[in-house]
Chains A and B, each alone.
Chain A
Amino acid sequence: MLRLHPGRLAGALILALLTASAPALAGKTLDAIKAKGQIACGVSTGVIGFSAADSQGQWKGLDVDVCKAIAAAVLGDPNKVRWVPLSSQQRFTAIQSGEVDILSRNTTWSLTRDAALGLHFAGVSYYDGQGFLIPKKLKVTSAKQLKNAEVCVQSGTTTEKNLADYARAQGIKLKPVVFDKFEASIKAFFSGRCQAYTTDASALAFIRSKEAPVPDDYLVLPEIISKEPLGPAVRRGDDEWFAIVKWTLNALIEAEELGITQARVDSLKAAPDPAVQRFLGVGEDLGKSLGLDREWAARAVKAVGNYGEIFNRNVGADSPLKLPRGLNAQWNKGGILYAQPLR
């Protein structure tokens, strides 16, 4: 990951200046992608469950599957993706400058980012929230009891600000100890340097089960101190491309609601439900309005499955993370996942 060494800062500045003078690609992203035959997808440098390369160098995760679905919808092949691992400092510059076509990198959708960074968020692919991990021996049961505690944090996210907000709102003092690398922050916490570790709750579950010397000695506190809607973002200035990303994400969520699974994409083409027929391109042609063909959504689901399948495989019951669906269940199943209708 990028360490902000002055020499590199100068390099980054020069690079930013150079890339900034490249011509803008307004309205041409789709054409450029088709010409290249490849989508450049900005992912993390390794967040298990969301985007991480496995031992064979294959990228896996929920954010990764979103990019694969878009590649399948647009190019007909989920593997026509160039993965660009980005540190949290690099990510916005990479999407702004056109180095990547999509930023699918567990990035929180917030006003500042949406309005001031030249981005459009295409939707929410995971509703997360920030929590605390503590050693059980502290005998703390609520984050409100963490008075004067030192809290280990990895820099480069909204985490530090949320922590400060929470401390101010509760009137308690929390001292952040900020590391630029995930490994160092985890190591410092488990060596006992900090009384608590804070990051998004999805990651806390993983850290507790995979990184803790003895998982049972640690506890995730019940408080969720922030809203972290994570989703893919695109560069401003190309509404057509924005629509394709937005509706592919919607299609993955809608597919789950309609009961369209990876295995049943083909057999369901004969189903009588008009919504299913539309989705699979048997009924009226939804792809045309997006500048795609009629089978775009069917290909996306066939490539990576519907949202529920993506969730279970990467972060849910069938994954090491075993996260509950929670907020990320469909709106009619107790969650807040609600796809705009494909019609």
Chain B
Amino acid sequence: MTRRRIAWQALILAGLALLGWLLVDTTASRLQERGIRSGFDFLLEPAGFALGESLLPFEASDSTLRAFAAGLLNTLRVALPGAVLAVLIGVIVGFGRLADNPLVRGLATAFVNGVRNVPLLLHLLAWYFILTDLLPAADSALPLAPGVFLSKSGLALPWWGEAGWEVPVPAGFGIDGGARLTPEYLAMLIGLSLYAAAYIAETLRGAVQALPPGQRLSALALGMTPRQAFTLVLLPQAWRAALPPVTSQLLNLFKNASLAVAIGYPDLVSVAGTSLNQTGRAIECLAVVIAVYLLLSLLAAALSHGLERRGLRGAPA
């Protein structure tokens, strides 16, 4: 019986492998038949296009591979702080949803319903156009503090640059020197983290409400404030049940960062789209993006499983 089962499974596995090989082989031979160049050699050729912003120094003469890396870094630059913000806001709103104060509860409910029921793309576009419409033009930037300027070109901050510590100064069309958080970046960060926060808040509320009511009552009876009861008693217990769905939300946040090109943020997908158009290597560019997303998502999922297995004692992350 078991031997037969193993034979069947081996057969199915072999069938799948054959199917996969057939797909790759047919595609490659058809591409060749039609005179379409294929292969990944273009990754080492000069990209030929510039990026609006990049953590990795990037010039048009750098390789396409470096452009992909810069795009990935841009994705992570918005996804990682976005994840931290989403969890923080999610915990606060989740607490608000359970508050005794009707005003706080009402506001938290309104936030969750308002944010959760509008498509994310609209969130991003709305935040982006609010930022670019409301802020002053780059040549008349708003000085918030010495060396800190806010304008349509973004938030300019003092930061380490090529010439050491740089303080932004108005110059030419905009602000020169220091670091820049562009409106594209800010809109992505705000939009993504608020959207994920609404879901996380609901997950936490559900997890807390699933705990026996005695937990909260006992904590209050011991003289804890409602906030202490939430952070010291309820949240650590609820967190364990909430971790898998919260991980899913954070992975969604990471994948949703691929909407960035809608508002002009040069993330991995935006860079892949541009390279695709320059080189015509559609399948290759898409394969790179899929592989990167898959790899990083699996990595994050493995990390979360590790946390679950260790039982996650103590305070929330």
Assess A20 versus B31: contact at CB under 8 Å? Given A4-B269, A96-B36, A175-B50: yes
State which of A118, A158, A184 has its C-beta within 8 Å of the C-beta of B263: A184
State which of A3, A20, A163, A235 has its C-beta within 8 Å of the C-beta of B26: A20
B172 within 8 A of A: yes
- A residues 167-182 near B (Cβ < 8 Å) are 167-168, 174-181
Inter-chain CA distance A3–B280, complex, in Å, is 17
B223 within 8 A of A: no
A248 within 8 A of B: no
What's the nearest-Cβ distance from chain B to residue A2, in Å? 9
Q: Give B172's nearest chain A residue, CB to CB.
A: A148
In the assembled complex, which residues on chain B have CB atoms less than 8 Å from the CB atom of A163? 49-50
Interface window among B85-93, B199-207, B237-245, B254-262? B254-262
Q: Is the CB of A191 within 8 A of B152?
A: yes
Q: Is the CB of B183 within 8 A of A155?
A: no
B51 within 8 A of A: yes
Q: Is the CB of A191 within 8 A of B274?
A: no
A211 within 8 A of B: no
Q: Count of B residues near A, CB < 8 Å?
A: 60
Inter-chain CA distance A3–B182, complex, in Å, is 22
B211 within 8 A of A: no
What's the nearest-Cβ distance from chain A to residue B177, in Å? 11
Chain A, residues 252-296, CB within 8 Å of chain B (1/0): the string is 000000000000000000000000000000000000000000000
What's the nearest-Cβ distance from chain B to residue A6, in Å? 5
What's the nearest-Cβ distance from chain A to residue B270, in Å? 6
Q: Give A26's nearest chain B residue, CB to CB.
A: B33
- A residues 115-160 near B (Cβ < 8 Å) are 115-118, 138, 146-150, 152, 155-158, 160
Q: Is the CB of B286 within 8 A of A12?
A: yes
Q: Is the CB of B35 within 8 A of A236?
A: yes
Q: Is the CB of B49 within 8 A of A168?
A: no
Q: Give A168's nearest chain B residue, CB to CB.
A: B60
Q: Is the CB of A116 within 8 A of B277?
A: no
Q: Give B184's nearest chain A residue, CB to CB.
A: A177
Inter-chain CA distance A149–B153, complex, in Å, is 10
Assess A92 versus B280: contact at CB under 8 Å? Given A167-B50, A178-B52: yes
Inter-chain CA distance A193–B30, complex, in Å, is 45
A5 within 8 A of B: yes
Q: Is the CB of B277 within 8 A of A138?
A: no
Q: Is the CB of B176 within 8 A of A155?
A: no
Q: Is the CB of A161 within 8 A of B270?
A: no
Main SS of chain B's interface residues? helix
Q: Is the CB of A116 within 8 A of B50?
A: no
- A residues 1-59 near B (Cβ < 8 Å) are 3-6, 9-10, 12-13, 16-17, 20-21, 24
Q: Is the CB of A13 within 8 A of B280?
A: no
A198 within 8 A of B: no
Q: Is the CB of B264 within 8 A of A9?
A: no
A312 within 8 A of B: no
Inter-chain CA distance A296–B183, complex, in Å, is 55
Assess A24 versus B26: contact at CB under 8 Å? Given A157-B277, A180-B261: no
Inter-chain CA distance A176–B47, complex, in Å, is 14
Q: Is the CB of A180 within 8 A of B172?
A: no
In the assembled complex, which residues on chain A have CB atoms less than 8 Å from the CB atom of B289? 4, 6, 9
Inter-chain CA distance A147–B34, complex, in Å, is 44
Inter-chain CA distance A96–B18, complex, in Å, is 26
Q: Is the CB of A184 within 8 A of B293?
A: no
Inter-chain CA distance A163–B274, complex, in Å, is 13
Inter-chain CA distance A184–B125, complex, in Å, is 8
Inter-chain CA distance A9–B294, complex, in Å, is 12
